Structure 1
């Protein structure tokens, strides 16, 4: 039995594929921004906040990291809707991914914060820096600089993990591919094209993080440290 490949039938749907790529990149962008903000805040709370706040953040981190993203997405999109709080599908998708990536970002940034030498904090205090200035310039910025490669990789994985949300009705790239499969019956060709597109997006997103890292952390650029 022979199989004749027909990529032209799949590539004829390039407008839909581009729409899926755009949706995936938009999800990645918004979740990256919100995820880093949530992760940095929770990391600060978990390292130096009051005990009750550390306990709440710890519970959030452990719950999210030990439950599947798909279940979290179902709860936020369908579970809340069943209680009368209806969210647009894209808003629910952004919230689900942000809540998920925020927990992982918290642990990565916490590792960076805990790597800061105590002597630097004492030096900042001797210089008369306020607590806010100390956290921004002596703690958070150096901590993010140290863990930036790990954060970059985590957010590339976030972009790839967004394909899971096709199961809850989000028409990102993987969700669009399901429509193309049902129209063309060319499953193999669709997945080949899909794999190539995800590979290209991963390279583009990683390159974007590298450029951003060069802008945010000039010292790494001067030292030639990989981002």
Structure 2
């Protein structure tokens, strides 16, 4: 059995792959940023909030972590449409990815927050820091530094998982590949190209998170161990 590889379609189709990859980056960068914000707020509520708030956040986390991302995307896209709220595929994808990222970030950040001793908050009070200053400088930044490798890995996983949004016709990289292979009938070659692009995006994201860590964390900047 022999197979002749033919990548000649790239000469014509490469702009479509670039557009798909760019949309993947846009979707995931927005989703990671908003998901981190949602997760951080929920983690603070789960660690420092009242009993009712902790239970509500815990329910949200368990619901999202124990259901498939594809089902969550369908609920947002088809479910909201059935209720009369029609959203584009891209907006629906971002909402679903933010909700998903937020749940996982909640647990990651909760672990970081719980590693901060309450005596450090008491010391911040003695130094005259406001509650907001204490939360940012004494709690959030040190907690984030401790769990940063897990956060960055989760963000890369979200970028890879964004391929599922092709199921609701979001024209990201995987959706583009599906269209190209249906047009060229070169499925093997098309998905090899897509795999290489995802590998490149993963490396790019890890580099971006490494550079971000150097900016955010002085100790890591001194040691040169951003991740």
Shorter-chain TM-score tier:
over 0.9
Q: In 2, are the aligned partners of 1:20 and 1:174 still within 8 Å (CA)?
A: yes
Q: 1:28-107 to 2 correspondence within 5 Å? A: 28-107=28-107
Q: CA deviation at 1:186?
A: 0.5
Q: Which position in structure 2 is the counterpart of 1:164?
A: 164
Distance in 1 of aligned mates of 2:224 and 2:116: 21
Structure-2 separation of matches of 1:181 and 1:58:
42
Following TM superposition, by how much is the alpha carbon of 1:9 offset from its aligned partner in structure 2, in angstroms? 1.8
State how far apart, in whole Å, the 2-side matches of 1:106 and 1:152 are: 14
CA RMSD, 1 decimal: 1.0
Instruction: Please name the residue that 1:123 is paired with.
Output: 123
- Per the alignment, residue 8 of structure 1 pairs with 8
The normalised TM-score by structure 1 is 0.97
Deviation at 1:64, TM superposition (A): 0.1
Task: Structure 2: state its 5+ residue gaps.
Answer: none
For the Cα contact (< 8 Å) 1:163–1:174, is it kept in 2?
Answer: yes
Which residue of the partner structure matches residue 198 of structure 1? 198
Q: What SS does structure 2 have at the residue aligned with 1:95?
A: helix
TM-score by length of 2: 0.97
- Count the aligned residue pairs: 227
CA distance, structure 2, for counterparts of residue 108 and residue 59 of structure 1? 16
Find the aligned partners of 2:38 and 2:2 in 1 and give their Cα distance: 53
Q: Deviations over 1:81-119 (max 9, x none)?
A: 011011121111100000001000000000000011222
Q: Distance in 2 between matches of 1:115 and 1:224?
A: 23
Identify the residue that residue 180 of structure 2 maps to in structure 1: 180
Q: Distance in 2 between matches of 1:138 and 1:2?
A: 63
Q: CA deviation at 1:51?
A: 1.1
Q: In 2, distance between residues paired with 1:50 and 1:11?
A: 59
Q: Deviations over 1:146-197 (max 9, x none)?
A: 1111101110011000001101111100000000010011011011101100
Query: How far is 1:2 from its partner?
Result: 2.6
- Where structure 1 has 5 or more consecutive residues not aligned to the other structure, the ranges are none
Determine the structure 1 residue equivalent to 2:221: 221
Contact 1:10–1:180 (8 Å) recurs in 2: no
Contact 2:39/2:103, CA 8 A, preserved across alignment: yes
Give the conservation status (yes or no) of the 8 Å contact 2:213–2:226.
Answer: no
Q: Which moved more, 1:122-131 or 1:35-44?
A: 122-131
Report the Cα distance in structure 1 between the residues aligned to 2:45 and 2:111, rounded to whole angstroms: 13
Q: Flag as ranges the 4+ runs of structure 1 deviating above 2 A.
A: 223-226
